Structures are given as C-alpha cells and as structure tokens.
C-alpha cells in the first residue's frame, strides 16, 4: 500500500511539473516579442539588426524615446486615445449594465429573443458592418469628430452578455426588498446592483479599454485630421514617414502599451474575480 501511494504521489508531482513547464514555455513564447520590443527601444538602430542577436541593450539608447516623441504630434495622439478609450469604456459600462440588468431581472415578452439578437452581433466583425456604419456616421455629420470615434462603440454584445451573466447571480430577494422599501428602479440599479457588480465591471473595463486603445481600422476611415488621430494611427504614420528609425518606433510602441499594463495591474484582482464569477453562472 505504501509503495502504491508513493507511486501515486510521484505521478502527481510529475504531472504538476509538466503543467508548470508548459505554462512557463507558453509565457516565454508570449512575452518574447514584447521583450524584444522593449529591448529594441533601448538599442541603437544598428544594434537592433546586429548578428548575433544582442539580447540586452549595450549601450543603452535613451534618445530613441525623446526623438520618437518629437517626430510626430504624439502628445496629441495620446490625449485622443485616452479621451476616446475612457469615453467608450464609461459608456459601455453604463449601457451594458443597464441592458444586462433588464435582461436578467425583468420579465417581458421577447426578452430571450432580444438577448439572442444581441449575442448574434458578437459574430459579426467590424469589417462586415463598416460600410453601413460609415454611411450612418457620414449622414450624422460626425466625420472627423470625437462623436464619430466614440458613439458607434458605446455598447457591444459582449458587454451586455457579461453583465447579464453576472447579474443573474444577484439574489432577486434583495431587489424585491428594496422595492418594498420604496426604492425606485434607478436607485436600485445605481446603489445596489452596480456596487455588487464591481468584479464584472472591472473585467469589462479592461476588455473595453484595450479594444478602444488598440482600435485602428475605424479611426483610419473616419478621421483625416491630424488633431484627431489616435496612437495606432500615429504609429502607422510614423512608419510611413520614418520607416527606418526602428529604435524610435519601438520606443513609441513601448510607451503605447503602458496604459493598458497599468490598468490591468490596478484592476487585476477584480478582473480575475469577475471573469471567474461570470464564467460559473448560468
């Protein structure tokens, strides 16, 4: 018996070692391009393409950040990206929560059909709806405006789905008790539902901010003024005008990833909790 238990324990240890080894390998593969981008930002342009590969910058080139920042109107581009991403994130959190609350806790004819239609929009990529969406924005006169960049993405099917799944787990008795106490529906939503949805809101905020920050195709077709360009557009323009300055390009790309990394670490605990709790609800 002791020998059998010892063998079983050895098998479990070997399985754990293999799992951790696979995770480390996967992390290495995923992080290697990001490390190469950061290290290239601190290299001279000659050393970026040096053979054998120089894994650590020597000497460290700080001027790539200064020259890259000054090469284009990147202060304005970063402001635009922050403004657009924050506006889209706030709008998505509000409207997705309202829709999710309605679909989860209210009973009315056609509720399930509406939810299915909302889910079906998740299957359509932006390229499919780009032309009709562009025509709508053009008819509204929102070309070359923040409205054209923000309004089409204030709510999306994934956000509604995520919030509905989370709100389904909130006890209905809590809502009914609030109604009996005379609380209005909006008060119940903002003072009871929203505070309980912090994990799901954090997860949705991270997903939405990332998508809005990385958005490239839509700003490319809706914006032609330099003052309204976002960071991805600025980087693409930088590549067009200064395609050989790879050290500066890597420096700007490194700075462009910092907001997303900072946001994730600030909301990391709530983000993981929101994904876990949302995933186990039916």
Within a domain: 165: yes
Burial class (CB in 10 A: 0-12, 13-18, 19+), 255: middle
**87 closest CA partner among 134, 140, 145, 147:** 147
Within a domain: 46: no
Q: Say if residue 7 is in the same domain as residue 80.
A: no
Q: Say if residue 79 is in the same domain as residue 174.
A: yes
Within a domain: 58: no
**Omega of the bond leading into 245 within 30 degrees of 0 (cis):** no
| pLDDT over 80 at 233, yes or no | yes
Distance CA 249, CA 254 (A): 9
Q: Which two tokens stand for residue 39?
A: 């290290």
Neighbours of 124 (CB within 10 A): 10
pLDDT per residue as tens digits for the range 189-231: 888 888 888 888 888 988 899 889 988 889 988 988 888 999 8
Half-sphere exposure of 194 (CA within 13 A, CB side): 14
- Rounded to the nearest integer, the mean pLDDT of the chain is 83
| pLDDT over 50 at 247, yes or no | yes
Q: What is the mean pLDDT of residues 237-252?
A: 71
Within a domain: 53: no
Within a domain: 34: yes
Q: What is the structure's pLDDT at 85?
A: 93
Within a domain: 51: no
Q: Say if residue 36 is in the same domain as residue 82.
A: no
Q: Say if residue 133 is in the same domain as residue 220.
A: yes
Q: Say if residue 36 is in the same domain as residue 138.
A: no
- Give the DSSP per-residue string, 111-122: HHHHHHHHHHGG
Q: What is the structure's pLDDT at 171?
A: 84
Helices (H), the chain: 2-41, 45-48, 63-71, 74-105, 111-120, 126-140, 146-150, 157-167, 172-180, 185-188, 194-196, 198-214, 217-222, 231-241, 246-266, 268-279
Q: Say if residue 10 is in the same domain as residue 101.
A: no
Q: Say if residue 17 is in the same domain as residue 98.
A: no
Q: Say if residue 13 is in the same domain as residue 129.
A: no
Q: Which two tokens stand for residue 4?
A: 């059998």
pLDDT per residue as tens digits for the range 67-107: 878 778 888 999 999 999 999 999 999 999 999 999 988 88
Within a domain: 67: no
Q: Say if residue 257 is in the same domain as residue 182.
A: yes
Q: Say if residue 24 is in the same domain as residue 132.
A: no
Q: What is the structure's pLDDT at 239?
A: 65
pLDDT per residue as tens digits for the range 164-199: 888 888 888 888 888 888 888 888 888 888 888 888
pLDDT per residue as tens digits for the range 118-167: 888 888 877 788 888 889 998 998 888 899 999 999 888 888 998 888 88
DSSP annotation of 192: I
pLDDT per residue as tens digits for the range 156-170: 888 899 888 888 888
What does each C-alpha distance from 7 to 21, 162, 240 come to in angstroms?
21, 44, 62
pLDDT per residue as tens digits for the range 13-54: 888 888 888 988 988 888 888 888 888 888 887 777 777 777
Q: Say if residue 160 is in the same domain as residue 274.
A: yes
Q: Say if residue 12 is in the same domain as residue 119.
A: no
Q: What value does the CA radius of gyration of the chain take, rounded to a whole number of Å?
A: 24
Q: Binning pLDDT at 50, 70 and 90, where does residue 273 land?
A: low
Within a domain: 65: no
Q: How many domains does the chain have?
A: 2
Q: Taking a C-beta distance cutoff of 8 angstroms, is the pair 227, 213 a contact?
A: no
Domain region containing 33: 2-41
Tell me, yes or no, if the pTM score tops 0.85. Answer: no
């Amino acid at each position: 018996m002791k020998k059998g238990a010892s063998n079983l324990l050895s098998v479990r240890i070997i399985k754990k070692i293999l799992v951790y080894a696979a995770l480390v390998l996967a992390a290495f593969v995923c992080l290697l391009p990001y490390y190469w981008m950061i290290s290239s930002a601190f290299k001279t342009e000659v050393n970026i393409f040096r053979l054998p590969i120089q894994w650590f910058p020597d000497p460290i080139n700080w001027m790539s950040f200064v020259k890259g920042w000054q090469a284009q109107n990147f202060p304005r581009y970063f402001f635009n990206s922050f403004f657009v991403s924050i506006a889209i994130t706030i709008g998505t959190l509000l409207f997705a929560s309202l829709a999710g609350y309605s679909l989860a806790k209210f009973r009315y004819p056609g509720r399930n059909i509406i939810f299915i239609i909302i889910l079906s929009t998740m299957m359509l990529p932006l390229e499919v709806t780009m032309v009709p969406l562009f025509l709508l924005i053009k008819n509204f006169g929102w070309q070359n405006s923040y409205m054209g960049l923000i309004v089409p993405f204030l709510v999306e099917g994934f956000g509604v789905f995520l919030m509905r799944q989370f709100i389904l787990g909130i006890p209905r008795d809590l809502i009914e008790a609030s109604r009996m106490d005379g609380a209005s529906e909006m008060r119940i939503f903002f003072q009871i539902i929203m505070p309980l949805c912090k994990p799901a809101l954090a997860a949705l905020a991270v997903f939405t901010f990332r998508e809005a920050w990385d958005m490239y195709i839509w700003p490319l077709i809706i914006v032609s003024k330099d003052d309204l360009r976002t960071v991805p557009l600025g980087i693409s323009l930088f590549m067009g005008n200064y395609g050989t300055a790879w050290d500066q390009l890597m420096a700007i790309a490194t700075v462009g990833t910092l907001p997303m990394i900072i946001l994730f670490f600030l909301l990391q605990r709530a983000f993981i909790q929101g994904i876990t709790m949302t995933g186990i609800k039916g």
